[in-house]
Amino acid sequence: MVNSRVSVAIHILSLIATTNDANQLTSDWIAGSVNTNPVVIRRISSQLKKANLIASNPGVAGYQLVKEPKDITLLDIYRAVQAPEELFAIHDNPNPECAVGQRIQSTLNNVYHSVQRAMEDKLTEETLQDVLDQLFH
Amino acid sequence: MVNSRVSVAIHILSLIATTNDANQLTSDWIAGSVNTNPVVIRRISSQLKKANLIASNPGVAGYQLVKEPKDITLLDIYRAVQAPEELFAIHDNPNPECAVGQRIQSTLNNVYHSVQRAMEDKLTEETLQDVLDQLFH
DNA sequence: CAACTTGTAACCGCATTAGTTACATCAATC
DNA sequence: GATTGATGTAACTAATGCGGTTACAAGTTG
């Protein structure tokens, strides 16, 4: 299962996108909405910042979106908070002396590739704006 | 990331589908091809058996496919070894007094649903036979 | 009976995750 | 310029899930 950082990141970005008062947008206040520790918010915000999705300044309260919600895809968010990895794990060191063991890894890689691609395509289709539309239907 | 049990399950099923000598198909021998402990093989085989994909008998060596490889989809295998769960985790107890916190869970559920659906559709498209075709191209 | 097998329970070490404490650094305000 | 309150990070903890392993019950075959 994909960890909850993606969900928290979307929550954070939704708050940033819809909160007018910048002074209100502290990691403490966001943590109150997400219901977690402020450090968890700052940790994920740091990843969103490195991915160039939000901006912030040490010492000054608040976060700002760098792009418009319609230009932030869920894949952008996913990749911002998720270590780059394959969706499916493949076991290590299958026996090369076995016909199946010898070719199972490359075969699985091929098979899984289209599955992961399908997932990422869907994540690309949906943007932060779509999330906002659903939040305030 | 999805754990490696799916990959090991496909490996096991590939061996069963392509090994003629039933006496050879012990959990010990399969473990030698996968390169793991025989108990890991029996554990996953037990799940495949409960999912009605393979058959076996206590005390007698070997496993047999219950269906033809073309009738075993990767989703069948995925569901056999994977606890039924959502692909994306959603954080617990967001603040109901916040407009975003109040609706984020149901919104994320909707958003993630189509993504998971896309993945499962792809897993349904590919069968054990496709894997065998790629293994012995 | 002896030598095998499958099936399962139980435990271990490791990695990952979310939560937390602590603190360095910076900015705004009195 | 000292105080206050913010971001940014390092470091630690508890809980969880994973694959690997030992042990053993129960069955089959020769």
Cβ of residue B28 lies below 7 Å from strand C: yes
CA R_g for chain A: 19
Q: How many CB pairs under 8 A join A and B?
A: 164
Q: In angstroms, rounded to a whole number, what is the distance separating the alpha carbons of residues B36 and B28?
A: 9
Protein-contacted bases of chain D (C-beta within 7 A): 5-11, 17-23, 26-29
A36 and chain B in contact, CB less than 8 A: yes
> Which chain B residue has its CA at the smallest distance from A84's CA?
B1
Q: What is the pLDDT along chain A (137 residues), one digit of tens a residue?
A: 999 999 999 999 999 999 999 899 999 999 999 999 999 999 999 999 999 999 999 999 999 999 999 999 999 999 999 998 899 999 999 999 999 999 999 999 999 999 999 999 999 999 999 999 999 98
Cβ-contact B62, B116 below 8 angstroms? no
Domain ranges of chain A: 5-135
- For all residues of chain B together, what is the average pLDDT? 97
**A5-135 belongs to which CATH class?**
mainly alpha
Q: In angstroms, rounded to a whole number, what is the distance separating the alpha carbons of residues B12 and A114?
A: 22
**Nearest neighbour of A11 by CB, restricted to B86, B104, B110:** B104
Q: In angstroms, rounded to a whole number, what is the distance separating the alpha carbons of residues A36 and A136?
A: 23
Which of chain B's residues have a Cβ under 8 Å away from the Cβ of A103? Answer: 134-135
Cβ-contact A93, B35 below 8 angstroms? yes
Average pLDDT over residues B110-119: 97
Average pLDDT over residues B57-73: 97
Which residues, in sequence order, are CB contacts of A102 under 8 Å at separation 6+? A94, A95, A96
Confidence at residue A122, expressed as pLDDT on a 0 to 100 scale: 98
Confidence at residue B82, expressed as pLDDT on a 0 to 100 scale: 95
Residue nearest to nucleotide C20 (CA to C1'): A37
DSSP characters over chain A: -B-THHHHHHHHHHHHHH---GGG--HHHHHHHHTS-HHHHHHHHHHHHHTTSEEEETTEEEEEESS-GGG-BHHHHHHHHS-S--SB---S---TTSHHHHHHHHHHHHHHHHHHHHHHHHHHH-BHHHHHHHHT-
Q: Which residue has the higher pLDDT, B137 or A50?
A: A50
Q: Using the beta-carbon criterion (under 8 Å), do A89 and B3 form an inter-chain contact? A: yes
Q: Is the pLDDT of residue B126 over 90?
A: yes
Confidence at residue B5, expressed as pLDDT on a 0 to 100 scale: 98
Alpha carbon A56 to its chain centroid, in Å, reads 18
- Residue A137 CA to C15 C1' — how many Å? 41
φ, ψ (nearest 5 deg) of residue A118: -60, -40
- Residue B60 CA to C1 C1' — how many Å? 18
Is the dihedral angle over the CA atoms A123, B4, A84, B103 positive or is it negative? positive
> Which chain B residue has its CA at the smallest distance from A11's CA?
B104
Considering any atom of strand D, list protein residues whose CB lies within 7 Å: A 25-28, 38-39, 42-43, 45-46, 49, 56-63, 89, 91; B 3-5, 35-37, 39-40, 43, 57-60, 83
Distance from CA of A34 to the nearest CA of B (A): 5
Confidence at residue B84, expressed as pLDDT on a 0 to 100 scale: 87
pLDDT band at B54 (very low <50, low <70, confident <90, very high): very high
Which of chain A's residues have a Cβ under 8 Å away from the Cβ of B103? Answer: 134-135
A51 and chain B in contact, CB less than 8 A: no
Q: In angstroms, rounded to a whole number, what is the distance separating the alpha carbons of residues A62 and A5?
A: 20
Beta bridge partners of B57: B60
